[in-house]
Amino acid sequence: MKTLLIIDVQNDFMPGGSLSVAGGDKIVPIINGIQHKFDLVVATQDWHPKDHVSFASNHEGKSAFDEIELQGKPQTLWPDHCVQDTEGAQFHPDLKTQKCEAIFRKGTDKYMDSYSAFYDNQHLKSTGLAGYLKEKGVSQLFLCGLAADICVYYSIYDAFKEGFACFFIEDASQALDPEAFKDIKEKMVNLGIQMITSEGI
């Protein structure tokens, strides 16, 4: 089964949002235009409590994009974003979600950050997405969304490790840090992730 996984196309990641990705809004019509090509469409939402450990505002004397150690691993501190039940956490208003059979929320535990659609960053807690996709008989997984260098990349990495054939849709994704993404893209290619555009689906 050919499946599209749409990662975090939410207001706070759009231009003008609290953690904006340049050109984030440009991918919305592309994602809308490819959904009909898939047997199954699934989406994710960052869905943080307001006291989430990854927010710089919850660490005295720290600023956004500072780095701390969390459970023995480096943790970037972010501006408050995608707080549960806020406008910033909602999908972009133009994103078509009628074809989405399921929406998986991540980052709900205030003590854990969760970039991947599959697991928290410590790999202690599963979202249940891998089991859901396997039960549906998914073999090919096409990923897109925001941000390409963070949540999309971590999701692709975990999807690959779970045994799915993974495709990254380049023009339906945008990176927070385009320079850093050059190295990440090389890592994906080396893993065997296939790079495609929306035209090539």
Query: Is 63 inside a domain boundary?
Result: no
Give the chain's domain count.
Answer: 1
Determine the pLDDT at residue 73: 86
Rounded CA-CA distance 90/97 in Å is 12
Domain that holds residue 23: 2-48+91-200
At 95, which CATH number? 3.40.50.850
Q: Which of 8, 46, 120, 158 is labelled catalytic?
A: 8
Please report the pLDDT score of residue 71 as a whole number: 83
User: Does residue 190 form part of some domain?
Assistant: yes
Q: Is residue 168 part of a domain?
A: yes
What pLDDT is recorded for position 199? 96
Let me know if 151 is a catalytic residue.
Answer: yes
Residue 172 lies inside a defined structural domain of this protein? yes
Whether 173 maps to a domain, the answer reads yes
From CA 106, how far away is CA 48, in angstroms rounded?
A: 8
Active-site residue (options: 46, 106, 120, 144): 106
Tens of pLDDT along the chain (201 residues) come to 999 999 999 999 999 999 999 999 999 999 999 999 999 999 999 999 999 999 999 999 999 999 999 888 899 999 999 999 999 999 999 999 999 999 999 999 999 999 999 999 999 999 999 999 999 999 999 999 999 999 999 999 999 999 999 999 999 999 999 999 999 999 999 999 999 999 999
Inside any domain, residue 192:
yes
pLDDT of residue 149: 97
**Catalytic residue flag (residue 25):** no
Rounded Cα gap, residues 45 and 11, in angstroms: 11
The yes-or-no answer on residue 99 being catalytic is no
Beta-sheet pairing, 67-70 with 73-76: antiparallel
CA 145, CA 96: separation in Å to the nearest integer? 13
Beta bridge partners of residue 146, listed in sequence order? 174
Among the listed residues 120, 151, 166, 185, the single catalytic one is 151
